[in-house]
Amino acid sequence: MNSKLRSNFEEGSTRWAVRRAQWIAMGINEQDFDKPKIAVVNSSSGLSICYQHLDEFSKLAQDAIKAAGGLAFEVNTIAPSDFVTSAGKKARYLMPTRDLMVNDIEVMIEGAVLDGMILLSSCDKTTPAHLMAAARLNIPAIVVPCGYQLGGNCNGRSVDIEEVYKGIGTLLTGKMSLDDMKNWTRCAIQGPGVCAGLATANSMHCMAEALGMALPKTTPVRAGSERLKEIVNAAGHQILELVEKNIRPRDILTEAAFQNAVRVAISIGCSVNTVRHLSAIAVEADLDLDMVKMFETESNHFPLITQIRPNGPDRIEDLDQAGGTHAVLHRLKEHLNTGVQTVQGVTLAAVLKEEVAINEAIIRTIENPFRKEPGLTIIRGNVAPSGAIVKLSGIDGTNRIFKGPARVYEEEDLAMQELAKGNIVKGDIVVLRMMGPVGGPGTVFACSFMAALSGAGLADTVAVVTDGELSGLNKGITIGQVMPEAACGGPLAIIEEGDMILIDLDQRRIDLLIPEASYQEKLSGWKMKDRVLENNWLKFYADNVMPIEKGAVFGKRK
């Protein structure tokens, strides 16, 4: 018996006997009982195209583990999809599914006492959940991002899910017919995988590699491709080496690794949601890091070196063909902490030792960027004293200072109705509040309104300020993840209809233009309205979720 493995129970014990009986009944060879026991975490689901290919790749991973000398077990979890799970209760279930998945994985892996994990990651919430679970459990683990989908062609026009998403605004304002939209939906998705573009799913796939938790040269990758098969096979073999060498996630997920990931996120213009997800992963890794401050500091030093949709005209497959995250890490090599450990079993310096050819038309240098400012940055002011996130790469470079009256809504549907009526006009600043993790409860979609604004041709002339859920596909003048959220007494709660707000991107400020005495009086006097929540998962989430500044993970709220 391999006594080094935690999964090998003492012979003659109750745990040993009952598990042995189960496995014999399952047809597992008794000679395999003492091998390293590896979970293949699979969020396969028939509800979403994001996951349609995972069963095939789960089997490939299991076969690779067996070939490498391990004993593989498939572990199925919930499978949240941003475009499916968002349908109920105004998307309130969506953000809480991330943390539900973390706990789901903990129960299955720790309950069974397995030795390692391969985590097959797909849609927006799965990659951060997998990284969070790896950080929490701290057993050898490899994240395998399972790829992006391709868009299609509709009457000579390239159409993907981003176009469909934005097109709702065009439809609402009467600039597009319902039949045209139906045609777009017929061709927007060609094959399995996550949304095309540098939205949250692909962004977090890239973050997994930038952190060192995914194998080198693996992101982004087309879902279902031969290359993905090779990646899964490599992971199945590599996880046994990590178990043998006892290389664990917290050996990899260090402050230096997070700093590397932040620099990559800023340089390529990742989704605004990377901030909250990286914050959550750091908390689960038991690191006392202020990720908001880290993004704020690093954004002063790294310009935008790619222009992947929605940040520009290039597609996610262009980034893939240009060398992907690995090529970006090469571009930033002189500015990274290359001594950090990776799941390859070597340092980042060793991973980047071999020079690569990089297509400068897709991935530029820091000295010759597409834009001299960062893709992501933090903005502060009396509306967001703890910070808010701005995706500068999604904003027209000419709109630097924006001043306008507040249009206040606590339901996205109401804002959508006003947009359809033509009542939201150029110069307005739309405030969508009480949509954060506590306020929802469960973060409420604000991104559909932002996409509709884009489709209506107003994204560059109407600003949005929100504590709700945004999409990595969103573009326009959006101040997202306003902290503290309104439901926690943040200043967003005291803004009234017609109040003037000033957004200054050059100064990185957002301010409510009312007298300081009035501001303080309203803030100190604000109290959240009493509410009665159903006794369900969302109530549990509201009662236990930490502030968004801490990644909205579970814990005691202060």
Identify whether the C-beta of residue 15 lies closer than 8 Å to the C-beta of residue 9.
Answer: yes
Report the sign of the C-alpha dihedral through residues 452, 183, 175, 148, in that order.
Answer: positive
Query: Identity (one letter) of the amino acid at 365?
Result: T
What is the Cα–Cα distance from 394 to 267, expressed in whole angstroms?
A: 13
Token pair, residue 4, equals: 């080094």
Strands 463-466 and 377-379 turn out to be unpaired
The enclosing H or E element of 324 equals: helix 324-331
Among 7, 454, 471, 518, the one annotated catalytic: 471
Q: Where are the beta strands (DSSP E) in 36-177?
A: 37-42, 71-76, 116-121, 141-145, 152-154, 157-159
Query: Identity (one letter) of the amino acid at 25?
Result: A
What is the Cα–Cα distance from 121 to 209, expressed in whole angstroms?
A: 12
Contacts of residue 261, defined as CB under 8 A and 6 or more positions apart, other chains included, come to 207, 210, 211, 278
Residue 471 designated active-site: yes
What is the Cα–Cα distance from 479 to 391, expressed in whole angstroms?
A: 8
Q: List the one residue out of 284, 99, 271 whose CA is nearest residue 194.
A: 271
Angle between the N-to-C axes of helices 161-172 and 412-421, in degrees from 0 to 180, rounded to the nearest 10? 60
**Buried-state track 404-437, b at ≥16 Cβ within 10 A, e below 16:** bebbbbbebeebbebbbeeebeeebbbbbbbbbb
Token pair, residue 495, equals: 């803004």
Q: Give the single-character DSSP code of 331.
A: H
**How much is the CA Rg of the chain, to the nearest whole Å?**
23
Identify whether the C-beta of residue 270 lies closer than 8 Å to the C-beta of residue 206.
Answer: yes
The residues carrying an active-site annotation are: 471
